[in-house]
Structure 1
């Protein structure tokens, strides 16, 4: 599995994703600077976390206008899988590759802690290494992770199976304190209609090695490896 990691001014998790992809796949990812208008053919494109362009205007808004995003949008429409983590998720919503928006956290504070997620379905190339309904522990670190969409859009996401992960407590219940940012219906990650584009606020790359204190995030990258190799 050959992957490309897109690097924006202000990215701070690009190296973390690079290391995780290398460890899981055994192949060195291509690091692509945001000014590039093209890059080599790859099996997966990853938009990492961070604070692209300092989060000026809105988180992800300026990155969405970068040269490289036109190429990514073209490849996504052709079926190349795209993964957006945290700020990458924000960029994907700003480009329209994913529905909804990421707003300021409900308590107006930056949140940085481990959360629990429920895997809504194992039937995707991003989640095949998990079980449907499995609860995993993954870190979050964001100020603008409050996922919002209108009720009709949220109903469509539910009906089409486009909700990938939800915030839950350790036993899988969607109780209030499990939601770190106020996201609608406890949504932590969503797919596009074909489930080839995934955006999620938690950072699976930060818990994908025993030396980091756990491996629950590794399953996402192993799923991609199994699906794309």
Structure 2
């Protein structure tokens, strides 16, 4: 019976994979990889390894999850070491539980190697802490995105007024869920940063505020993945980004830590 390892490839840059993850990738007999995995990272795989694309992009045509599960089980029957290379971290919106369950049900050994999730990579690029003494004491990872057979959601966890929210796969539905946050009492001037293609040379950060977010058009971005950061901890970074931009977007001044 084969061994399957789910590995977080990180947010995009090939050198953000962990040392453990890279070593296993180089040893694998078969590699299943997501659409956002860097081609240069795939070149690190063993020359004889079988590479299988199982693209997973929000809003794009992709391989059905049940078919990926089936492929993984079949590969584990055939190969000694199978790697499932996932963008970001496998355990954050990576549907890892479905793959782990399918593999364990089939009697295979499964391991997980963590990766750098997009919210943490974005904070590093911005040099903006997601938690801030006296201001933001928690961070929420959330998404409005649901499966094809599920009812669309506008419900996002709001936390307290100052706490930080990282919204994954949420730009196309930003109008309804941003409006819902405002209706629940979130300040319209709450700083927001759209984080596109994080960690790549093409990464781009757009400062807004929550009141402006429903008016922002996804067509203003390129085709790269977009993460949305919301919260007072981002006020300083928003002002710095705004100083580099001609866009006249009113933002709150940086909040002084207690």
TM-score (structure 2 length as normaliser): 0.27
Which structure: larger Rg? 2
Which structure is higher in strand share?
Answer: 1
- TM-score norm. by structure 1 comes to 0.30
